[in-house]
Amino acid sequence: MNLGPGDVDLAAFTLADSVDPEAPGADPLLYFSGDGGCAPSTCLAPGRKALLVGSLYEGPVGDALVLRTDDNALANAGLGNFEAVVLRDDLGELRSSYRVWRDPLAAPDPATQEAALVRVAPEAPDAPESWDFAAPSPGL
């Protein structure tokens, strides 16, 4: 979700499964479908959401701007239950992350439930207490 006051072009953003900016497997984000509320096609307007998917994704997308990776996996050969997820901007700066906390095995454990894991508030820090289980709602 774009929490800022201005449009953000996600064309040069990358998704990775390591906090190390030099780690292999960082995927560029490419336009797949939807509308982010601004131009170009990879632009995300304030308050709008983007959904990041692998290139073979065929599931629901809601009303999100849908960006895909350049292959059929997210990050380096796909994401495991306890791997970090790191979003970097066009300057290589960390913009958002998941599971980059001290003990990556700390709860919540995504393997224990068949439910989506969501941040309790978009601005909440990347910490175990900031995540909870919810019904899937891609792009909503």
| Strand 94-98, strand 85-88: pairing | antiparallel
pTM of the model as a whole: 0.85
Backbone angles phi, psi at 89, to 5 degrees: -85, -175
For 91-117, b where at least 16 C-beta lie within 10 A, e where not — what string?
eeeeebbbbbbeeeeeebebeeeeeeb
Helices (H) and strands (E) in the chain, counts: 0, 11
Strand partners of residue 134: 116
pLDDT digits (tens), the chain, 140 positions:
898 999 999 999 999 988 898 888 888 999 999 999 999 999 999 999 999 888 888 888 888 999 998 887 777 777 777 888 999 999 999 999 999 988 878 888 888 888 888 889 988 999 999 999 888 777 66
- With tokens 């131009």, the residue in question is 39
